[in-house]
Amino acid sequence: MIFGFRISEPVIAQSKTTTSEQSFSTGLQENRWYKNVVIYNLELDTFKDSDGNGIGDFQGLIQQLDYLDVLGVDVIWLAPFQPSPRQDNGYDISDYYGVNPIYGTSGDFSEFMHEAEKRGMRVIMDLVVNHTSDQHPWFQEARQSMNSKYRSWYVWSEERPKDWNKGMVFPGVQQETWTFDKKAGAYYSHRFYRFQPDLNFSNTEVQTEVQKVMGHWLRSGVAGFRLDAVPFIIEDPYSDRENPTHRFQLLKELLRFIGWRKGDAVVLGEANVEPGEEVEYFGKEGNGMSLMFNFYANQHLFYALATGQINEFTNALQATKSIPEASQWANFLRNHDELDLGRLTEEQRDEVYQAFGPKKNMQLYDRGIRRRLAPMLGNRKQLELAYSLLFSLPGTPVIRYGDEIGMGDDLSLKERNAVRTPMQWSNEPNAGFSEASKTDRPVIDEGQYSYHQVNVAAQRRNPNSLLNWTAKMIRLRKECPEVGLGDWTILDLNSPHVLAIKYDWKGSQLVMIHNFSKEPQQVQIKSDVASGKKLVNLIEEKENTVNKEGVYQFNLEEYGYQWYRVGGVMRN
């Protein structure tokens, strides 16, 4: 497929069920739209500038919706776009109900929502309610007087708490989590930067206001929220900073409100938790957050990519397997933050550093790497392996803008801004992103990842480009609903390098095989896995049948990957 030509999606027939109960259960599963979609994360600032001021905006995004449509994007996840001093990429919000004028007007937002809906795309937006900007009118009023209505909307202490410098989200950059405010005459809590004071969710007025914010944007047409920093929203701010008490009832109330306002709305939660802790976030009956990022598996995936050894990654997948039927993991490779490796051992983390971020300026917060995927991996074969894995892992795939063309990073920028450079549309000035003489964020204009070498326009015309390959894999993922809806099993191949996952759903089976090694591998699968049927390769025109010994044999090249459907076609 050459990128730019629209391809109709296959129609998947519904199989008949033997009982009304089975039919009801199947219907519920298939109506959970978030289970078989591709989510695309972007920031307005850096996506497309329509008015020449050097900053991306809603009209620019509208101009590129056809690009996202043809790529195969189902859901656009928007980074914060509300009014903000933009000291933290818009995550320091000063008005929850508006649109930052640099991105356009409320009318521009409405037009964008209309155009996205025309193309069958849903929109989810960042909901940042753990903290506000210190420029928010609520905080400015709270500082004025102990008697201010908004004083109790934030978290204060007259004395400096003993753990004033504990529990920092950005170690090495942050100095404290409690800061003294002269005007208020007290210390205020901030888990993030000092210009982002924490909201007090113990206050019912704060809870009610956040519900109004959610109701406002749901009414505006969004399909749900990516909920930022979930554990910090629900923690008791006066408990131990490094081992806080979490009040999950607060989360349940937020989610219940969203369900009342819009029944099919989703919440994609950012909660970097250990296996077993996700139960309270998903809800024991699946009545919690619809999706959560699988940070635990992600970190062990990068350990596997760095070492070629799959054992720890396999264990991580197994450890995060048991979740409610209604719930779903969101899988990703890179996002807008650092590659967080905090769940790995120190030795494991050092191995990932050595492979993907050996220089000190590539590392961040004593736990992560601040690079994009393409320069980290450095070669096309391993890049394809990583994305084939992303689209074939149990859950919903989330991709970061620009990764579909293999964009690089700018390590001269501070902290996480290294991976937040303008989208590279063409080899025209400013990467075709803006006609301004100078862009708000610098484009990458030097080296092998410069926009002269890496851009959408060039890759559209190249049938072998990463962009066209990615579009093909997204289409293939949509032809494999088993991945989002089915039961899955990791097959024992007796290999330290090759991962094989089998999916079962409504009588159909898939087998996905990935070689993490830089050396070719040969593996075998017992014939009873597919009951003696042929395995049809979904990527190449090949079939695999049982040999004389009664096994399927696979030859995988270095970083090779293969997707097979058992029997050749989906059962109707």
Catalytic residues: 228, 270
Q: Using CA atoms, how far apart are residues 420 and 402, in angstroms rounded to an integer?
A: 10
Q: Three-state SS for 186? A: strand
What tokens does 388 get?
């084939």
Listing DSSP states for 327-378 in one string gives -EEEEES--SS-EE-TTS-HHHHHHHHHHH--SGGGEETTTEE---HHHHH-
Listing DSSP states for 410-469 in one string gives -TTS-GGGGG-PPP---SSGGGGS--SSS-SS----SSTTSTTTS-HHHHHH-TTSHHHH
What DSSP designation does 426 have?
-
Side chain identity at 330, as an amino acid letter? A
What tokens does 121 get?
């795309």
Q: Using CA atoms, how far apart are residues 401 and 67, in angstroms rounded to an integer?
A: 12
> Which residue's entry shows tokens 């289409």?
475
Nearest to 364 by CA among 337, 335, 343, 345: 337
Distance of CA 467 to the CA centre of its chain: 19
> Which residue's entry shows tokens 């990463």?
466
- Phi-psi sector, 480: left (phi>0), alpha (psi -120 to 50), beta: beta
Side chain identity at 569, as an amino acid letter? V
